[in-house]
């Protein structure tokens, strides 16, 4: 099922990288590239997700960029508001610091930090209630794919959140499909396989909400300039969540350019 034009999103997930000086330089280089040859906001939305410590600095540094580049938190607490939760950052505290976006459900959080569907639902509920936009990550493991359970796994992950997302809040969700076996491995899903899964996700979303037809569904997993054009050409791939390649300004810029040019 192809969809009406959806402005793509290209978001860099920096994960636990880099040191502050390198982060500043990376942003400086990205700003320079955008200044030399801008990518129109209407052609591609852009965002970067630095470590929590750097969120406000990077946001400030991006303030005078020639176009909007959103600053995205990599995680949010399952607890709302303020309180005695050592080490945590709530959705309200992110909002209070001017951070309007958050990643929820990244496979690394699910795997290493025991972010269960119940915990992810708390995070999503709090984030949406604090008016954050959520980039919700889903994806199957290699074993699940080999057992023919990729689709079931991913659609279940979509259904998991339906209990906490209010009807009018779906517009504040971006889905990122990231097959776990493709993350940081250099292996990308073929554009055909990625498109097939994206179409299934869109079908699943559309059964839950009318917004499903127009929600952005990003692909993630070893996206680089070399494969971005092909991925961008797929009708239901509306952008990319980029890990490794987002740590290089030129690579990240080129990926955004590929999506901007194709859509
Ligand atoms: P990668 O990471 O691009 O390094 O594979 C993607 C992600 O985990 O978001």
Positions of E strands within the chain:
9-13, 45-49, 70-73, 101-104, 133-138, 173-177, 217-220, 239-242
* pLDDT tens for each residue of 228-257: 999 999 999 999 999 999 999 999 999 999
Q: Locate tokens 């554009």: which residue?
A: 191
The reply to whether 176 falls in a domain is yes
Residue 1 above 60 pLDDT?
no
Per residue in 193-229, pLDDT (tens digit) is 999 999 999 999 999 999 999 999 999 999 999 999 9
The pTM is what? 0.97
Query: Phi and psi (nearest 5°) for 65?
Result: -65, 155
Whole-angstrom distance, CA of residue 49 vs CA of residue 75: 10
Residue 23: inside a domain: yes
106's tokens: 């990244």
Band of the pLDDT at 186, cuts 50, 70, 90?
A: confident
Please list the residues that pair with 217 across neighbouring strands: 175
Q: Is residue 1 part of a domain?
A: no
Res. 3: pLDDT tops 50:
no
10 Å Cβ neighbour count for 46? Answer: 26
Cβ–ligand 1 distance for 242 under 6 Å, the answer: yes
Q: Flag whether 134 is in a domain.
A: yes
The CATH number assigned to the domain holding 153 equals 3.20.20.70
Gap from CA of 225 to ligand 1 centroid (Å):
13
Q: Ligand 1, atom 3: nearest CA belongs to which residue?
A: 243
**Segments forming the whole domain that contains residue 128:** 9-262
Instruction: Look at phi and psi of residue 66 and say left if phi exceeds 0, alpha if psi is from -120 to 50, else beta.
Output: alpha
Nearest-CA residue for ligand 1 atom 2 is 243
pLDDT at 132: 98
pLDDT at 70 > cutoff 50: yes
For 129-151, the pLDDT digits (tens) are 999 999 999 999 999 999 999 99
Task: Determine, yes or no, domain membership for 117.
Answer: yes
Confidence of residue 62 (pLDDT cuts 50, 70, 90): very high
Quick check: 262 pLDDT over 60?
yes
**Where residue 4 falls among pLDDT bands split at 50, 70, 90?**
low
Short-list 14, 140, 113, CA closest to 69: 14
Total number of domains in the chain: 1
Decide: residue 186, CB within 10 A, 0-12 exposed, 13-18 middle, 19+ buried.
Answer: exposed
């Amino acid at each position: 099922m192809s969809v009406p034009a959806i402005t793509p999103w290209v978001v860099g997930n920096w994960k636990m990288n880099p040191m502050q000086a390198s982060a500043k330089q990376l942003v400086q280089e990205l700003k320079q590239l955008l200044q030399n040859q801008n990518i129109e906001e209407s052609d591609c939305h852009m965002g970067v997700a630095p470590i929590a410590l750097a969120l406000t600095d990077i946001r400030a540094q991006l303030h005078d960029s020639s176009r909007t580049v959103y600053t995205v938190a990599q995680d949010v607490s399952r607890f709302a508001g303020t309180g005695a939760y050592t080490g945590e950052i709530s959705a309200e505290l992110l909002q209070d610091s001017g951070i309007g976006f958050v990643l929820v459900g990244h496979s690394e959080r699910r795997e290493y930090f025991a972010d269960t569907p119940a915990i992810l639902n708390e995070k999503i509920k709090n984030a949406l209630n604090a008016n954050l936009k959520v980039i919700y990550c889903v994806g199957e493991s290699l074993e699940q794919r080999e057992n023919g359970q990729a689709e079931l796994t991913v659609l279940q992950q979509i259904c998991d959140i339906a209990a906490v997302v209010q009807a009018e809040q779906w517009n504040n969700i971006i889905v990122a499909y990231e097959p776990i076996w493709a993350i940081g491995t250099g292996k990308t899903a073929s554009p055909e396989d990625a498109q097939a899964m994206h179409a299934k996700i869109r079908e699943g979303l559309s059964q839950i909400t009318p917004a499903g037809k127009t929600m952005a569904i990003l692909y993630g997993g070893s996206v680089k300039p070399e494969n971005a054009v092909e991925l961008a050409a797929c009708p239901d791939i509306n952008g990319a969540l980029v890990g490794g390649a987002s740590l290089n300004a030129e690579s990240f810029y080129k990926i955004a350019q590929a999506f901007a040019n194709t859509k």
